Amino acid sequence: MRRPGRGAGPAHDDGGVTVGASVDLRLADLHPALDDPALNSMNFLNEVAQDYPDAVSLAAGRPYEEFLDVAALPRYLDAFGRHLADDLGQGPEQVRRTLLQYGRTKGIVHHLVARNLAVDEGVTVDPEAIVVTVGCQEAMFLVLRALRAGPRDVLLAVAPTYVGLTGAARLLDLPVRPVTAGPSGVDPADLRAEVRRARAEGLRPRACYLMPDFANPSGTSIPLAGRRALLELAAEEDLLLIEDNPYGLFPAGDTRRLPTLKALDTARRVVYLGSFAKTVLPGARVGYVVADQRVAGRDGDVGLLADQLARIKSMVTVNTSAIAQAVVGGALLEHGCSLVDATARERAAYDRNLRHLVDGLRRRFPAGAPVRWTVPTGGFFVVLTVPFPVDDALLHRSAREYGVLWTPMAHFYDGGKPVRALRLSVSAVTPAQIDAGLDRLTALITDELSRRGATAPVG
């Protein structure tokens, strides 16, 4: 694994004057999170992909690139500019200012995001409760920063957990305690037990982070009854839920989309994180958070959590690029603010790929083979369980000797314990690439099994 350079060098001589010895810093003197596996995870996976450009990647959770269209950008910008003038009554100078100046901290497409949530999710939110962020990743960071008030605060997260969440929590010195996912996305008994255990230890569980729809990496979804039960449990235990939903628009086959937790939330228990990376384009780096929780100030004033998040944002990224927001805003406007409509082609491709991958696994590993996999009802990800530990060294070997990339599931668990599973993603590949990738992966697994003389049971 490549590490950031230490930057050592000889004393610098500038025109005959010795300016001084270069400064060496020690990683041990920087924030401890910088040495944490969670922060190395994304870089490591990107580096392996760069080192083996000819390998088939069943690792990347990126949207399918052929659908990303450079020619659409001016059209989107133009549509948003016209919207500012025609619908919001802005004159030419104001349009120029909105698009090109520093802008409103909470964003300039908040009203369109609110409309999108109403059209696609049946969620009614005050646009003032929305903060448009630099990707969903920033939204996560702002929420965790606001919630982490002191050393007794902890976050609960359904495990396996998206590594971006774990990394952000590490940077904020916010410990993450795992909650069992179980077969239906979250085990409510374990969640309740974790809340109570933390409180019994004198800790404050500030929220539970989870992905009810086609989760990354597990692919599981929480059924409707489970969602209602979760909201009841959150009320009983007085717990916030952080709902992250980047994949909800990609149900497979005739799977019906379920209401989000936010749609079922009548008590402002749910902080909702959204991303336009998979639905519009990842390069815009636009996401958002709905934070309609009321916050009482010291003087008795009551505001919105969104306003507190905006104060943090003003010190992190000032505001989300107006140009990037305009691109996303134009894409929303072009489709009547419905991303369900806008992503019909993507949904079909991901559905086809998911089926292709699962069928391909079934053909290559007939009943009785010591390999198991999940069959998700949507999203990008399938988890394959094998009877041997899957670590970064095996991924390197897979890339080098077999020409196929995937993600070790260990990256999504804390604690560095060996995990006998890997994540396969179908979003950035064609069916032919899936075939090639599965052939290569099958060869790796077969060799690994015979190397270990394994008839060991899966699990």
Ligand X SMILES: Cc1ncc(COP(=O)(O)O)c(C=O)c1O
Question: Does residue 135 touch ligand X according to CB under 6 A?
Answer: yes
Kindly state the smallest distance separating residue 303's Cβ from ligand X, in Å. 26
Part in contact with ligand X (CB under 6 A); list of ranges 88-96, 101-109, 129-137, 146-154: 129-137
Among 211, 306, 310, 332, which residue interacts with ligand X (rule: CB under 6 A)?
211
* Residue placing its CB nearer to ligand X in the complex, 244 or 386: 244
* Residue placing its CB nearer to ligand X in the complex, 286 or 386: 286
Alpha helices in 297-410 (DSSP H): 305-313, 322-334, 339-342, 344-364, 392-397
Among 61, 107, 160, 403, which residue interacts with ligand X (rule: CB under 6 A)?
61
Q: Which residue is nearest to ligand X (CB)?
A: 135
Q: List phi, psi (to 5°) of 451.
A: -60, -35
Part in contact with ligand X (CB under 6 A); list of ranges 68-76, 102-110, 135-143, 388-396: 135-143
Question: Does residue 136 touch ligand X according to CB under 6 A?
Answer: yes
User: Distance between CA 440 and CA 433 in Å, rounded?
Assistant: 11
Indicate the helix (H) or strand (E) that contains 209. strand 204-210
Q: Is 16 left (phi over 0), alpha (psi -120 to 50) or beta?
A: left
* Residue placing its CB nearer to ligand X in the complex, 153 or 213: 213
3-state secondary structure of 397: helix
Kindly state the smallest distance separating residue 290's Cβ from ligand X, in Å. 14
Task: For 69-83, give one letter per residue: b (16+ CB within 10 A) or e.
Answer: eeebbeebbebbbeb
- What lies within 8 Å, CB to CB, of 172 at 6+ separation is 141, 144, 145, 148
Question: Does residue 49 touch ligand X according to CB under 6 A?
Answer: no
Whether the bond between 217 and the residue before it is cis, its omega within 30 degrees of 0, is yes
Binding map of ligand X across residues 235-264, x = CB under 6 A, - = no contact:
---------x-x------------------
Question: Does residue 164 touch ligand X according to CB under 6 A?
Answer: yes
User: Distance between CA 36 and CA 39 in Å, rounded?
Assistant: 6
Question: Does residue 376 touch ligand X according to CB under 6 A?
Answer: no
Kindly state the smallest distance separating residue 209's Cβ from ligand X, in Å. 9
Question: Does residue 219 touch ligand X according to CB under 6 A?
Answer: no
Question: Does residue 377 touch ligand X according to CB under 6 A?
Answer: no
Question: Does residue 360 touch ligand X according to CB under 6 A?
Answer: no
Q: To the nearest 10°, report the CA torsion of 438, 426, 418, 411.
A: 150
Q: To the nearest 10°, report the CA torsion of 348, 223, 233, 131.
A: 10
Question: Does residue 272 touch ligand X according to CB under 6 A?
Answer: no
Kindly state the smallest distance separating residue 304's Cβ from ligand X, in Å. 22
195, 233 in Cβ contact below 8 A?
no
207, 155 in Cβ contact below 8 A?
yes
Question: Does residue 171 touch ligand X according to CB under 6 A?
Answer: no
* Residue placing its CB nearer to ligand X in the complex, 136 or 143: 136
Q: Which residues bind ligand X (CB under 6 A)?
A: 61, 135-137, 162, 164, 211, 216, 244, 246, 275, 277, 282, 287
